[in-house]
Amino acid sequence: MSASRPTVLLVEDEPAQREVLAYNLEAGGLNVLRAGDGEEALLLVAECAPDLILLDWMLPNVSGIEVCRQLKTRSDTKAVPIIMLSARSEEVDMVRGLETGADDYMTKPYSVAELMARVRAQLRRSRPAAAGGRLEFQDIVLDGETHRVTRGGTEVKLGPTEFRLLAAFIEKPGRVFSREQLLDRVWGRDIHVDSRTVDVHIGRLRKALGQGGRDDVLRTVRGAGYALG
């Protein structure tokens, strides 16, 4: 596993289908959040900022297409890739799904192998560090495959937690992460860590990146959290 595990929100109202899919996603090294309807999905997106959403079309209360439309019109969620899952096979429905902003579309019954391939393709775009990519911000370079970080060509020694923190930031330069979002992303939802721990590791990351009197690139946003640049 490189960087932190990407989180997928799975929105499916059929419990059996949901569990089969969740099993495969988890076996593929992903964190899975589950929602059984559209309202729950919208709440979880706001709370947990997932890296990708698998969205069933036919859902009780708020339909999948409406969830997709809402998320793709909000500035804070429109970049999150959405793969629509549908029992409908008519081409007109697929076109409608994509017009609503979905990034990909699969018709049930789908092959799990093909779905996983499409999930990975979308994650390479939204979570390049987790997918083993190379990311740059100003003179900082993070290599998701070798786990090496350099600044101005000089190697920066980071602990695993600081590496995952930097990976989260460098994937979304300028984005403000709350302490809770960093806890979810870097430590994982199942681990209980005090939010002050985040501050300690941010301090270490700052110190490591600032070696040799270089500029501080991490910004503290009062009352909100931290951002890169």
Residues of the shown chain interacting with Ca ion in the complex, contacts defined by CB under 5 A? 13, 56, 58
Shortest distance, position 58 Cβ to Ca ion, whole Å: 4
Shortest distance, position 118 Cβ to Ca ion, whole Å: 19
Shortest distance, position 36 Cβ to Ca ion, whole Å: 9
88 or 148, CB closer to Ca ion? 88
Of 105, 53, 63, 58, the closest CA to residue 84 belongs to 105
Shortest distance, position 1 Cβ to Ca ion, whole Å: 31
16 or 113, CB closer to Ca ion? 16
58 or 176, CB closer to Ca ion? 58
Shortest distance, position 60 Cβ to Ca ion, whole Å: 8
10 or 168, CB closer to Ca ion? 10
Alpha-carbon torsion (4, 6, 198, 193), positive or negative? negative
Q: What residues have CB less than 8 Å from 196, skipping those under 6 apart?
A: none
Q: Are strands 104-107 and 82-86 parallel, antiparallel or unpaired?
A: parallel
65 or 170, CB closer to Ca ion? 65
Per-residue buried b or exposed e for 106-140, using 16+ beta carbons within 10 Å of the residue's own CB: beeeeeeeebbebbeebbeebbbbbbebebebeeb
Q: Please give the residue whose beta carbon sits closest to Ca ion in the complex.
A: 58
Of 178, 153, 181, the closest CA to residue 44 belongs to 181
**How far apart are the C-alpha atoms of 123 and 117, rounded to whole Å?**
10
C-beta separation of 137 from 173 below 8 A: yes
